[in-house]
Chains A and B, each alone.
Chain A
Amino acid sequence: MTVDRFQAMGCEIVVAGADPAAVAAVFEEWEDAFSLFRPESELSRVNASGAGVLSVSPLFARTLAVALDAAEDTDGLVDPTLCGRRHEVRVAGRLLSRPAGVALDLNGVVKSLAVDAAAELIADEGFVSAGGDIAVRGPVDVALPDGGAIRVVSGGLATSGVASRGRHLVDPRTGEPSDSPWEQVTASGSSCLAADVAAKTAFLLGEDGPAWLDERGIPGRFASLDGSVVESRLWTGALACT
Chain B
Amino acid sequence: MAADSRIQRARARARAAKVVIGAGTLLVFGVAFVGAKIHAPGHAKGTAKPLDAPKSFKRAVRRSIAQGGQIAPAVQPPPVATQTS
Contact = CB atoms under 8 A, between A and B. Distances in A.
A20 interface: no
Interface in B30-85: 50-53, 58, 61-85
A95 B53 CA distance: 11
A144 to B, nearest CB: 7
B64 A193 contact: yes
B7 to A, nearest CB: 67
Contacts of B73: 150-151, 239, 242
Interface in A111-159: 111, 127, 129-134, 139-145, 148-159
Contacts of A163: 83-84
Given A151-B73, A151-B74, A157 B82 contact: yes
Interface residues of B, number: 30
A189 interface: yes
A162 interface: yes
Contacts of A91: 52-53
A197 interface: yes
Contacts, number: 173
Interface residues of A, number: 72
Given A66-B61, A141-B75, A191-B64, A155 B82 contact: no
Contacts of A133: 82, 85
A142 B75 CA distance: 10
A238 interface: yes
A184 B84 contact: yes
Contacts of B62: 69, 73
A139 B72 contact: yes
A194 to B, nearest CB: 6
Given A3-B79, A92-B51, A149-B78, A164 B70 contact: no
16 contacts: A1-B79, A69-B62, A92-B51, A95-B51, A141-B75, A142-B74, A151-B72, A152-B71, A153-B70, A155-B67, A162-B84, A188-B68, A188-B70, A193-B64, A218-B67, A239-B72
Interface of B: 50-53, 58, 61-85
